[in-house]
Structure 1
């Protein structure tokens, strides 16, 4: 996989943002972190991201609504959605919104890397 993609991480949990950022940087990618979907959508670099990794449950706009906003703006960045929640229909909602991958916490690093590689190929 070619290195050097710009990946965004959108999560209201600072420790999760840091852990994900460290993993993605270890793969040779650039990372930008955002504490909210609103901050991500306001980024000057929005059009440069190769992939967005977002938590689903966040204060304000959730990850599924974030994907809908991106689609409305004709942004084609693939979105990997992560959640700690267990609702049975959450994965279906995420995938219907256009998520590239859906992962439940705790996340295995290898699973996330596989999802990221798949998303970057699209």
Structure 2
């Protein structure tokens, strides 16, 4: 049985999408995965998303560029960025744009789930 919360995962790495989806579903969330920011932006995903988990570095559009596009379209939801690259987690600059956490891959499963709970509490979606 799913909690009412919908988590969107945007990551170009299929293994990461599968892993995050399994983890979040096991934690009781409904999860939708997207291989690219454009796939997410062109879907009904933003209207359904309670929390967005996104990779920072993806071909074509970065996580921050996707966040800018979401904001330009009027969408606001808490965001958790993840990245395997050093130096591309600009949480200090991103906090004002609803970025709740920036996690460096690999991260602990319980750490991600804890940050999802924080994100949902901060947005009033608990």
Say whether the fold is shared (TM-score over 0.5).
yes
Distance (Å, rounded) in 2 between the aligned partners of 1:97 and 1:62:
15
Structure 1 ranges of 4+ moved more than 2 A: 88-98
Gaps (5+ residues) in structure 2?
none
Distance (Å, rounded) in 1 between the aligned partners of 2:66 and 2:89:
18
What are the superposed Cα offsets for residues 49-83 of structure 1, whole Å, 9 maximum, x if unpaired? 11110000000111011111111112111111001
TM-score, length of structure 2 as denominator length: 0.87
Gaps (5+ residues) in structure 1?
none
Q: How does 1:56-75 map to 2 (within 5 A)?
A: 56-75=56-75
Alignment CA distance shift 1:94-1:4 (3 Å): same
1:36 corresponds in structure 2 to 36
1:116 corresponds in structure 2 to 116
Q: State the secondary structure of the residue aligned to 2:99.
A: coil
Distance (Å, rounded) in 1 between the aligned partners of 2:60 and 2:88:
22
Alignment CA distance shift 1:30-1:88 (3 Å): closer
TM-score, length of structure 1 as denominator length: 0.90
Q: How many residues align?
A: 121
Q: CA RMSD in A?
A: 1.7
